[in-house]
Chain A
Amino acid sequence: MTNPADFTLAEARDAVRAKKISSVELTKALLGAVEAARPLNAFVTKTPERALDMAKASDARIAKGEGGALEGLPLAIKDLFCTKGVRTTAGSNILSNFVPPYESTVTQNLWDAGAVMLGKTNMDEFAMGSSNETSHFGPVFNPWRSRSSNANLVPGGSSGGSAAAVSGSMCLAATGTDTGGSIRQPAAVAGIVGLKPTYGRCSRYGIVAFASSLDQAGPMTKTVRDAAILLRTMASVDPRDSTSVDTPVPDYETAVDGGVKGLRVGIPREYRVDGASPEIEALWTKGVEWLKAQGAEIVDVSLPHTKYALPTYYIVAPAEASSNLARYDGVRFGNRARDVRDITDLYEKSRAEGFGAEVQRRILIGTYVLSSGYYDAYYIRAQKLRSLIARDFAEAYKKCDVLLTPATPGPAFAVGSKSADPVAMYLNDVFTVTVNLAGLPAIAVPAGLTADGLPLGLQIIGKAFDEATVLRAGRAIEIAANFDAKPAQWWRGT
């Protein structure tokens, strides 16, 4: 029998339903994998006792013939989702002792469907980063290593812990959040599937806020089918998030195998960027051939404002972050500085101690672009650019149904190799960030290995609330790529 830790979410679901394996057996196998993978630092908080309690409760429900869509299936949760009674840090020192008295809507949906929580995954502090190196709890190591070196590689970010946990078979699937690429970029460099849904598809209630007009939760999984299964449960309309959209949640899983015959796939010419690796370019060309061979119609399209997406994002996102993070004042929750002179000193020192370097940098940029005299020049101009970027997509979708692009400009890089230059780090999100600015759904699917043995992904971008077609096209890539490589489990025995 397959090691239960290697099951896909769909395989585990079917095995549990058929009573071939109990949730407790499955949970124990995954808790063992989590423990063995300690050197990867994928988890900030492990919850083995809670996991076993939840698994036992699931087995009891299954014995009675009951059970939800994810009954008894162990998942990892990004430490940005508030979990009642379980510490939630957002990867930050300022929340290192924060125990939420409430549950996020997305995680509540998962538990209501019978899922089991293994623990909370590591991440870039407040989801600000593309390498998981800004976490207060230390970097996460990618399960993948190149053929030519034993150097530790980053798992991407900000959902780096979730990506490593799925890729390293420490969980069946995980949740992530994506503000500028934080689901898709780590998924691509860790060789897994990551889906960012349309803005408003999943409730943001109880997710620690970074940039509220961009943040969206989504699934990180081993297969496209698994992403469809997990999204269906994560998505809901929620009175506690006024931006969650009251549109029926379809059964995405039935859509997955629909094929791409007759689907119009747009190839945006502006996504050929300087600095992308030749291997990415070659893979993208291969992706076009794969979809064409399965009956898709390939259309050249133009998204003329693509090059302005990153600088637009790095105005809008820090502006919103500087406002959202104003709540961390050392008074009501979170870190509080000692030995302070007065209330202002309390605020300033609590925040300086509590926030790491990248978060401080972004708060300062955000404060700068919103400050009197600069607001129109930066913030308002960026919001206008955002309108133009969204309009580019609307124009392209007159000619096509989905877009095919690379997911990242290159494979996973070595820990520490890009931390010195913030702008170089930001460029990792060049292919993903446009989607957040326009609120669209997109999926990253593993599509090949570099010559050095590292995974690369392709991205499918869809129309708003058309996740079903995104998944269908993603599945077509998955079938053609037949990506079955797994990282060598070098951490066992370290």
Chain B
Amino acid sequence: MSVDKDTVRRIAKLARLALDEGRCEPMAQELNGIVAWMEQLNEVDVTGVAPMTSVVEQALKMRDDVVTEGGNADALMANAPGGEDHFFVVPKVVE
């Protein structure tokens, strides 16, 4: 499998990453180099092997479904680049 310019454009769109047209071709080449290197995993027979889901054997912890923190809107907004009052401001979303 090889990564072409169109694939780079498509995954950049999926990743919400603006990529100048001039960078698509070099990026395709870089990704191809990396993907080709990953292909060596195809040498291994993985029949019957379960994919790893957790590296430590422990059951997922449960807690009571209660509010543990809250009422800190000021702190939440402190780093917002376009915050007004307690609202995040973004360009118009609905026409």
- A-B CB contact pairs (8 Å), 6 listed: A200-B56, A311-B41, A351-B16, A364-B11, A380-B51, A390-B52
Interface residues of B: mostly helix, strand, loop or mixed?
loop
Which of these, A198, A308, A332, contacts B80 with CB under 8 Å? A332
Interface size class of B (residues with CB under 8 A): 35 or more
Contact B15 A363 (CB under 8 A): yes
Given the complex, which residues of B lie within 8 Å of A98, measured CB to CB? Answer: 79
Complex alpha-carbon distance, A364 and B76, angstroms = 29
For residue B67, CB closer than 8 A to chain A, the reply is no
Contact B51 A388 (CB under 8 A): no
Contacts of A331-349 to chain B: CB distance below 8 A: 331-336, 340-349
Given the complex, which residues of A lie within 8 Å of B37, measured CB to CB? Answer: 311, 314, 423
Contacts known (A311-B40, A331-B90); A365 close to B31, Cβ less than 8 A: yes
Which of these, A332, A351, A367, A377, contacts B18 with CB under 8 Å? A351
Which of these, A342, A351, A368, A464, contacts B35 with CB under 8 Å? A368
For residue A155, CB closer than 8 A to chain B, the reply is no
Contact B41 A312 (CB under 8 A): yes
Contact B44 A387 (CB under 8 A): no
Complex alpha-carbon distance, A439 and B78, angstroms = 36
Which of these, B19, B38, B79, contacts A315 with CB under 8 Å? B38
| Bitwise interface map of A from 356 to 391 toward B, beta carbon under 8 Å scored 1, else 0 | 000011011101100100100110111111111010
| Residue of B with least CB distance to A362 | B34
Contact B92 A342 (CB under 8 A): yes
| Residue of B with least CB distance to A340 | B91
Contact B31 A364 (CB under 8 A): yes
For residue B14, CB closer than 8 A to chain A, the reply is yes
Given the complex, which residues of A lie within 8 Å of B19, measured CB to CB? Answer: 352, 360
Which of these, B14, B51, B75, contacts A387 with CB under 8 Å? B51
For residue B49, CB closer than 8 A to chain A, the reply is yes
Query: What 16 additional pairs, Cβ within 8 angstroms, besides A374-B1, A387-B52?
Result: A213-B55, A305-B44, A314-B37, A331-B81, A345-B91, A348-B16, A349-B18, A361-B30, A365-B31, A365-B34, A381-B42, A383-B53, A384-B49, A387-B49, A387-B50, A390-B55
B50 to chain A, nearest CB (A): 6
Contact B80 A361 (CB under 8 A): no
Complex alpha-carbon distance, A334 and B88, angstroms = 13
B62 to chain A, nearest CB (A): 9
Which of these, A239, A311, A438, contacts B38 with CB under 8 Å? A311
Contact A360 B17 (CB under 8 A): yes
Which of these, B3, B52, B91, contacts A343 with CB under 8 Å? B91
Given the complex, which residues of A lie within 8 Å of B40, measured CB to CB? Answer: 307-308, 311
| Residue of A with least CB distance to B58 | A245
Complex alpha-carbon distance, A383 and B63, angstroms = 28
| Bitwise interface map of A from 312 to 331 toward B, beta carbon under 8 Å scored 1, else 0 | 10110000001000100111
For residue A109, CB closer than 8 A to chain B, the reply is no
B55 to chain A, nearest CB (A): 3
Complex alpha-carbon distance, A278 and B37, angstroms = 25
| Residue of A with least CB distance to B49 | A384
Contact A423 B56 (CB under 8 A): no
Contacts of B5-41 to chain A: CB distance below 8 A: 7-8, 10-12, 14-19, 27, 30-31, 33-35, 37-38, 40-41
For residue A108, CB closer than 8 A to chain B, the reply is no
For residue A422, CB closer than 8 A to chain B, the reply is yes
B11 to chain A, nearest CB (A): 5
For residue A355, CB closer than 8 A to chain B, the reply is yes
Contacts known (A330-B81, A342-B91, A388-B49); A361 close to B41, Cβ less than 8 A: no
Interchain residue pairs A-B with the least CB separation, the first 10: A439-B55, A383-B51, A336-B81, A333-B79, A101-B75, A348-B18, A352-B18, A384-B46, A386-B52, A347-B16
